Amino acid sequence: MNGIVYAGVALLLFGAEVLYLRLATHYHIVDTPNHRSSHTQLTVRGGGIIFWLAAFLAFVVTDFASPVFFVGLTLVALVSFLDDISSISTRIRLLIQLISLGLLLQQTGLWSELSWWMVPGLILACGVLNAYNFMDGINGITVFYSAITIATLLIINQFYIPFTGSLLLVFSLIGLVIFAFFNARRQALCFAGDVGSVSMAFIVIFLLVSLMRESGQLTYALLLTVYGIDSVMTILYRLWRGENIFQPHKLHLFQLLVHQLQWPHLRVAGLYALTQAFINGYVIWLTRRDAQMQFWGGFSLLMGLTLAYIVIKNRLNRLVATRHKPGQGRETSQVFRRLS
């Protein structure tokens, strides 16, 4: 019976995505390439709306379980979709995000437990939400990374700690597979848009908070290590340079790999997802150990990856600087080819 339900959901989501592509093309909901873009042609924006639809189907099939969470998801998806169509004030978006995340924490039961810690908790969750959105800059990265994250959470839910109903996990994974057909290609047919990346981030945050509350282990936050390091280190770098961190840029490591080394989008997206997959296996192993081992194991992981990030980023920056020096273009070009 489940197989029939899953197949029906897949067909429905596929049909919904095709319909959205037609409507978005008709109403010109598209990304126009500019100097900050990673694409070169008009591409439909907001195709990730099917992530919200997948959650809605799970909400209906489970007899409207977790209604407060779904209201929050709908609010944040709506404001993100409106921002995809026509830019909305950052203040309004942040306000709706904070309200939505407050509903999320209320659904998980943390609102009453954390009391005054809710303020920094909301700020942290809002940071994760927007970092997830900022990382959606090349074809395939959101879908590959999110698929690894959701699949890992599904494995944990099925074999280690049952922390939620499985349908939200399975339907979200189906939505990601469907979206991959349209996005994970050399020339994407559509982008997730803010509605897609923010909706998926909201779902992931809800699942992670539920898991950490049920298990009592903060170690599971490491399931977002790769995104976390790239986001935090890039923000710190931009603050050091005195830049507005809310303005678009091309300073994430994945952007440098694409724009400077000319690596294909899907290679970089796959590298990020594969790295996180190995980390996830380590995290599952680590959570079977005592608290002290978890602390030092997690600390070592973060320090090691941060150091690797700094070394790689500095090397790329030096190569970029050398590339623009007169008379050294050919030599640097050869170095870039060797690296790629």
Question: What DSSP letter does each residue of 120-155 carry, written as one string?
Answer: HHHHHHHHHHHHHHHT--STTHHHHHHHHHHHHHHH
Could you give the CA distance from residue 228 to residue 217 in angstroms, rounded to a whole number? 18
- Taking the C-alpha atoms of residue 238 and residue 255, their distance in angstroms, rounded to an integer, is 14
Residues in the chain: 340
For 229, the token pair is 């390091």
Question: For the chain, which residues make up each domain, given as ranges?
Answer: 2-339
Known binding residue 133? Answer is: yes
Measure the CA–CA gap between 177 and 154, rounded to whole angstroms.
Answer: 15
User: H or E segment at 104?
Assistant: helix 90-108
First to last CA, the chain: 47
* Nearest alpha-carbon partner for 130 in 74, 181, 79, 56: 79
Which tokens go with 251? 């300073």
CA-CA-CA-CA torsion sign (147, 269, 306, 114)? negative
Residues pairing with 44 in the sheet: 30, 190
CA angle 27, 31, 32 (to 5 degrees): 105
Joined together, the tokens standing for residue 84 give: 């995809």
Under 8 Å between Cβ of 207 and 112: no
The tens-digit pLDDT sequence of the chain (340 residues) is: 588 999 999 999 999 999 999 999 988 998 876 545 554 568 899 999 999 999 999 999 999 999 999 999 999 999 999 999 988 898 999 999 999 999 999 999 887 766 667 788 889 999 999 999 989 989 999 999 999 999 999 999 999 999 999 999 999 999 999 999 999 998 999 999 999 999 999 999 999 999 999 999 999 999 999 999 999 998 888 888 887 777 777 788 998 899 888 899 999 999 999 999 999 999 999 999 999 999 999 999 999 999 999 999 888 878 777 765 554 444 334 433 444 4
Q: Is 194 annotated as a binding residue?
A: yes
Give the closest residue to 229 by CA, choosing from 254, 256, 261.
Answer: 254
The predicted pLDDT at position 115 comes to 66
